[in-house]
Amino acid sequence: MNALARASQRGNEMAESSPFDARGDFIAGEFAPVTRESGCIALEDPGDLSRDLGQFPFSHDSVDVAVAAARRAYPGWRDTSAERRAEVLLRFKRQIEEQAETLATVISTEVGKPLWEARTEVRAMQAKIDITLNEGMSPIREYAFEIGAGQHARCRAHPRGVIGVLGPFNFPGHLTHGHVAPALATGNTVVIKPSERTPAVGQLYAELALRAGFPAGVFNLIQGDGEQGAMLARHPDLDAVLFTGSYRVGRSLLEATIDQPSKLVVLEMGGKNGALVCEDADLDAAAAQIVYGATITTGQRCSATSRVIVSEKVADALAERLASRLARIRIGYATDPEVFMGPLISRESVARHRELLGQAAGEAECIVRGGPVEGPRAGYYVRPSLHRLHRRSDSAYQTDEHFVPDLAMLSVRSLDEGITALDATPYGLVASVFSRDRSIFERVYREVRVGLLNWNTSTVGASSRLPFGGVKRSGNAQPAGVLSSVYCTYPVASTEFELASAEIEQPGFPRKT
């Protein structure tokens, strides 16, 4: 049975089963139930804890098996033409389109994000294929030039080989796919380990890859916990690790691979993102954009707004507008079409939010009290919070990424002081500037170290047609987005002579006898 026939048969099986029924790991073109269990993921709906979504067992043995399958498949996929690889990826896109509502529903259920937001994530996954195959290939386009008669120089992008992808929970489809699509398009094979919070999304993603007809071993996915991810990252037969997640975990991956200097480790990490609001800003618009950036996905975005640096001349007026917006955020279960903010992902996240509020109490005035709140069902619901800082400091509250919906507002007396405060963070992912004066925006570009800088709009909502990545603790100079194809390949430079020369014109070098 060929790949497409197997895909069709598997598609019929999909229709008859629940996406939350564990099917095991997807290795070498098929699902295989876990036989020697190392652990089990108890899957929960963070917005409705009364629901039992099932169990996803995993095995550490799967790491070796999956990497070996990807290694076997690599030469064939590497040597497949770019056009043929694109055909399979476009079939993958069609599968995502056909199963868009199912995929959005599973994302919404596992993450707790509103269904409307999960649908936008799925649309971004579809668009990623087209962007990868078009704009994404431009940065690695082959080029050549003549250096003499019958002599040429050329540079081509070579796939890295077997790539491990460690996915996050907050965008379990889009951010994982953002690594996988360019990796496959450029001729690599992949082993994916989805977040332990979102195993069903990962499983469905593998189902769609199967239906697309990738050759066996090109696309592999294993379930597991954080240790499973670390084992995959350390694997000696892996050529690269692509990670999206926290600074703490990213740092541990670097430590785990320190004795493998040839292995590329791409780290897309967190942010402590600030919005600078100048005295000439449109305060209503600034408040809307800041609250949106702080509360979408319940604050669980690396690009979420968590700091507001505002001119003291308009600080009171902005605080009033922020408080009004935050108080009217609609919180509830994911399928309610009127809900903007769902629950946090876990009990640990709720505890972190509570701890954060305790930290803030000693160094800020509470404007909007946040923390756990009763939702429409038993779940990890919280209200967003707003604090007005007494002064800037290097405290954990003001410098750490917390991944919860909280805003800390700091008043400044001058633009100089505001720019200094905006840059005073160990992270460097996104910043926003609210001002009618473009020259202020351009000055922030020169003086503040971030990978993304926005003018009069939120810190969230990056375009896949642009690079995405930060500096300092936010990344390690390997931006994703449209530049993902760059880290999925390495350049090979060639000097090519149609005829070799026996004569080398250098002092002291022997002539032909």
Q: How many CB atoms lie within 10 A of CB 87?
A: 14
Q: Write the CATH number of the domain with boundaries 273-455.
A: 3.40.309.10
CB 292 within 8 A of CB 447: no
SS3 1: coil
* CB-CB contact of 240 with 253 (8 Å): no
Q: Are 141 and 154 in contact (CB under 8 A)?
A: no
Type of residue numbered 262: S
86 vs 329: CA distance, rounded Å: 42
Sign of dihedral through CA atoms 300, 301, 306, 311? negative
Angle between helices 226-234 and 61-78 (to 10 degrees): 50
- How does DSSP classify residue 331? B
CA atoms within 13 A on the CB side of 325: 23
Q: How far is it, in rounded angstroms, from Cα 77 to Cα 269?
A: 30
Distances (CA, A) of 208 to 11, 21, 94, 205, 215: 8, 16, 9, 5, 13
Nearest CA among 144, 426, 143, 152 for reference residue 269: 426
5, two tokens: 């026939």
Residue with tokens 């399979």, as numbered in its chain? 88
Crossing angle of the two packed helices 100-111 and 82-98, in degrees rounded to 10: 70
d(CA 24, CA 34): 5
- In order, the DSSP letters of 340-392 are SB---S-HHHHHHHHHHHHHHHTTEEEEE--EE---SSSS--EE-EEEEESS-
Q: Specify whether the CB–CB gap between 387 and 406 falls below 8 A.
A: yes
Separation CA 286–CA 434 (nearest Å): 6
* pLDDT value, residue 505: 87
User: What pTM, to 2 d.p., does this model score?
Assistant: 0.94
The one-character DSSP state at 17 is S
Query: For residues 74 and 189, is the Cβ–Cβ distance under 8 A?
Result: yes
Query: Which among 103, 104, 123, 114 is positioned nearest to 46, based on CA atoms?
Result: 114
Q: What is the pLDDT of residue 31?
A: 98
Measure the CA dihedral 102/106/109/113, to 10°. Answer: -90
Looking at 207-253, which runs of residues are DSSP E strands?
219-221, 240-244
| Two structure tokens written together for 163 | 């790539």
Could you tell me the residue ranges of all domains in the chain? 3-17+24-269+475-493, 273-455
pLDDT at residue 501, as a whole number: 86
Local structure of residue 45 (DSSP, 8 states):
-
What is the rounded distance in angstroms from the CA atom of residue 364 to the CA atom of residue 409?
9
Rounded to an integer, what distance in angstroms lies between the CA atom of residue 422 and that of residue 169?
A: 28
Tokens coding 23? 């099917």
Residues 6+ apart with CB under 8 A from 300: 169, 170, 344, 345, 349, 403, 404
pLDDT of 360-389, one tens digit each?
Answer: 998 999 999 999 999 999 999 999 999 999
pLDDT reported for residue 16? 62
Instruction: Please state, in angstroms and rounded to a whole number, the distance separating the CA atoms of residues 512 and 502.
Output: 7
Q: Which CATH architecture has domain 3-17+24-269+475-493?
A: 3-Layer(aba) Sandwich (3.40)
Query: Which residues have a Cβ under 8 Å from the Cβ of 510 and sit 6 or more positions away?
Result: none
Phi/psi-derived region of residue 506, left when phi > 0, alpha when psi is between -120 and 50, beta in every other case: beta
| 469: β partners | none
* Inter-CA distances, 123 with 98, 118, 336, 388, 464, Å: 11, 9, 20, 37, 12
> 3-class secondary structure for 62-91?
HHHHHHHHHHHHHHHHHCCCHHHHHHHHHH
Chain-centre distance for alpha carbon 120:
15
Q: Report the catalytic residues.
A: 268, 302
Q: CA–CA separation, 222 vs 232, rounded Å?
A: 10
pLDDT at 6: 53
Q: Where are the alpha helices (DSSP H) in 42-145?
A: 61-78, 82-98, 100-111, 115-133
Residues of the chain where predicted confidence (pLDDT) is lower than 50: 1, 7
Q: How many CB atoms lie within 10 A of CB 465?
A: 12
CA 102 to chain centre: 21
Burial 245-263 (b: 16+ CB within 10 A, else e): bbbebbeebeebbeebeeb
Q: Which residues, 6 or more positions from 38, have their beta carbon under 8 angstroms from its beta carbon?
A: 58, 59, 60, 61, 224, 228
